[in-house]
Chain A
Amino acid sequence: MTDNNRKKEAAIIVSQEKLADAVYSMWLKAEAALFARPGQFLSMYTNDSSKLLPRPISICEIDKEKKSLRVVYRVTGENTGTEQFSHMKEGDRLFILGPLGNGFPCERAKGKRAFLIGGGIGVPPILELARQTQCEKTQIIVGYRDAQTFLREEFEKSGETYVATEDGSEGVEGNVMDVIREKSLEADIIFACGPTPMLRAVKKYAEENKIECYLSLEERMACGIGACLGCVCQSKDKDAHSNVHNKRICKDGPVFLSTEVEI
């Protein structure tokens, strides 16, 4: 009954580097690493008392031996919490809550041909997923705006990697769906994280081709633990917890079977 053993944790920044315009990579030393799974996220708090809510940031890599987690995040604008994260240095302390959310069901991919799809700032969680899935064929498809294809080299070490860029400067011109069509790729299972229009296209493709598909969704959050009901998505069926057609992205997700959500 007194299972109140979780709390906010002071993580220590191990390293920070800029990967692309407004995209940063940070390694954090934190107990949370011991429990983290691919597709889960951290609630990251700024040290600015005027910014009270945590920023939900997906986990990019997990190193249990070094008790460390990597996050790759985008600075969303001037005077934002993410901008403050980007100014932090090695040795600085940053409060986190996590790991939160359900994560990708990696075990479903075992022995299958998989698409691991990331778009924009939805690319980072695909890296740890690619490391941990034991697919027969790991096909990583990542979409970017332009030639700043952050994490690409790391993906190339983890599986067959295909790149799409909106401006055509690298890989296939267009989006991740254009890669699948152009290269005639096939899969038995799909995992995806990225902007909603991309996820809609992936969901449609998966359902038309009757492929098992998991989508990682995003929404503005407050509590991050399923209490405030700030970050719901619409569910196809009535959800057992909410008793309405809503699921909590932070707690029931962020990863959902494509057929159980309406996006």
Chain B
Amino acid sequence: MSADMRVNIAGVDWKNPVTVASGTFGSGAEYAEFVDLNRLGAVTTKGVANVPWPGNKTPRVAETYGGMMNAVGLQNPGIELFCERDIPFLKRYDTKIIVNVCGKSPEDYCAVAERLSEEPVDMLEINISCPNVKEGGIAFGQDPKAAEAITKAVKKYAKQPVIMKLSPNVTSIPDMAKAVEAGGADAVSLINTLTGMKIDIDKKAFVLSNKTGGVSGPAIHPIAVRMVYEAAHAVKVPVIGMGGIFNARDAIEMLLAGASAVSVGTANFHNPGVTMEIAEGIGRYMEKNGFKKVTDMVGIVE
């Protein structure tokens, strides 16, 4: 008998605990050539704002040892084109749709949440942790009071469960997780990227046009596991774990640390089919280790 991979995240049933990290997968259309989207628990879209954003100048990406940096700056087509084009595309598949929402002000976030309230999407993930934009983004994600306030504001407009995406660039993950829970968050996801810097020693200049960028990939995985563990012990709402998951082993670590589901990001760039392999690998591990349900694994390493 095959393992029961189903999870329930804030009232939404996923067929398995594997989704993708926002920004690494577009809205799924490009990856659909490589991945059977029906085999993912959910697709998490690239962040979308109330109006189109052009993003930062290039270079926007750089490789680092065991990872990469990006400073895309939340380029997105705006919520109207997203609703017209990207949601209907994803609706063709049997997977849950999580829309990542970004904004420069509380009003921006609320406008997107309100616009999505009548759309056939399953969950909203609120990005208060992007290190690559000057306004908004991380400004709401580094102060517990601001994070609680933005959560409350968005919850007034959102019809779908709200996942608050947390930044690792804070002193205390438990404080941030508790703040958004107090604000009414239905789930938390973490970690977003760690702010980093890379210098080209030949050109004697920053590699990224934005000077700094978000570091991701396997190099940051142990930091993410620690933070997921801390968040899972701080709040009652489900935790979606991400940060450097490269294979099924890394995903299983997250589940054992307390994540109810996992998001795969940078690894998609290394192997576009990796999400399917990770879902399969979790299933094999469960069978080998006698777990009947994936939920039986969550947080058992205390």
Residues in A with CB closer than 8 Å to B62 are 220
CB of A184 within 8 Å of the partner chain: no
Contact of A246 among B54, B65, B92 (CB under 8 A): B54
**A1 touching B92, Cβ below 8 Å:** yes
Number of interface residues of B (CB under 8 A): 47
**B30 touching A232, Cβ below 8 Å:** no
Binds A, one of B115-123, B173-181, B270-278, B286-294: B270-278
Binds B, one of A5-13, A107-115, A163-171: A5-13
Q: How far is the CB of B263 from chain A (nearest CB, A)?
A: 15
Q: How far is the CB of B81 from chain A (nearest CB, A)?
A: 5
Chain B 52-64 interface mask (CB, 8 Å, partner A; 1/0): 1111001111110
Binds B, one of A14-22, A50-58, A83-91, A146-154: A50-58
Residues in B with CB closer than 8 Å to A245 are 54
CB of A230 within 8 Å of the partner chain: yes
**A230 touching B26, Cβ below 8 Å:** no
**A226 touching B30, Cβ below 8 Å:** yes
**A222 touching B36, Cβ below 8 Å:** no
Q: How far is the CB of B275 from chain A (nearest CB, A)?
A: 11
- Bound form: Cα–Cα A229–B60 in Å: 8
**B272 touching A225, Cβ below 8 Å:** yes
**B33 touching A223, Cβ below 8 Å:** no
**A228 touching B55, Cβ below 8 Å:** no
Chain B 23-36 interface mask (CB, 8 Å, partner A; 1/0): 11110001111111
- Bound form: Cα–Cα A230–B68 in Å: 12
- Bound form: Cα–Cα A222–B72 in Å: 11
Chain A: number of interface residues, binned into ranges: 35 or more
Q: Which residue of B lies closest to A219 (CB)?
A: B58
CB of A3 within 8 Å of the partner chain: yes
Question: Dominant SS at the B interface?
Answer: loop
**B59 touching A228, Cβ below 8 Å:** no
**A2 touching B269, Cβ below 8 Å:** no
CB of A209 within 8 Å of the partner chain: no
Q: How far is the CB of B67 from chain A (nearest CB, A)?
A: 7
Residues in A with CB closer than 8 Å to B53 are 244
Known: A227-B25, A230-B61. A52 touches B273 (CB 8 A): no
Chain B 257-288 interface mask (CB, 8 Å, partner A; 1/0): 00000000011111111000000000000000
CB of A251 within 8 Å of the partner chain: yes
Q: Which of B33, B55, B58, B70 has the largest number of chain A CB atoms within 10 A?
A: B58
**A227 touching B31, Cβ below 8 Å:** yes
Residues in A with CB closer than 8 Å to B266 are 52
Question: Dominant SS at the A interface?
Answer: loop
Contact of B217 among A3, A52, A224, A241 (CB under 8 A): A52
**B67 touching A52, Cβ below 8 Å:** yes
Residues in B with CB closer than 8 Å to A54 are 269-270
Q: How far is the CB of A71 from chain B (nearest CB, A)?
A: 19
Q: How far is the CB of B277 from chain A (nearest CB, A)?
A: 11
**B61 touching A222, Cβ below 8 Å:** yes
**B38 touching A97, Cβ below 8 Å:** no
Q: Which residue of A lies closest to B75 (CB)?
A: A229
- Bound form: Cα–Cα A49–B63 in Å: 12
Residues in B with CB closer than 8 Å to A233 are 58
Q: Which residues in chain A, 197-232, are within 8 Å of chain B measured between CB atoms? A: 219-232
CB of B77 within 8 Å of the partner chain: yes
Contact of A50 among B23, B32, B65, B70 (CB under 8 A): B65
Residues in B with CB closer than 8 Å to A53 are 61, 63, 68, 269-270
- Bound form: Cα–Cα A220–B26 in Å: 18
Contact of B24 among A6, A77, A223, A251 (CB under 8 A): A223
Contact of B66 among A52, A97, A225 (CB under 8 A): A52
CB of B78 within 8 Å of the partner chain: yes
Contact of A220 among B33, B55, B60 (CB under 8 A): B60
**B36 touching A244, Cβ below 8 Å:** no
Known: A4-B32, A223-B30, A225-B30. A231 touches B60 (CB 8 A): yes
Residues in B with CB closer than 8 Å to A50 are 65-66
Q: Which residue of A lies closest to B26 (CB)?
A: A227
Q: Pick the 9 closest A-B CB pairs, nearest first.
A: A243-B77, A230-B61, A227-B26, A227-B30, A244-B54, A4-B36, A243-B52, A226-B30, A222-B61
Interface residues of B (CB under 8 A from A): 23-26, 30-38, 46, 52-55, 58-63, 65-68, 70, 72, 75, 77-78, 81, 92-93, 202, 217-218, 266-273
Subset of 14 A-B contacts with CB under 8 Å: A4-B34, A5-B33, A7-B34, A49-B218, A51-B63, A220-B58, A222-B61, A222-B269, A223-B24, A223-B30, A229-B46, A230-B58, A230-B72, A232-B75
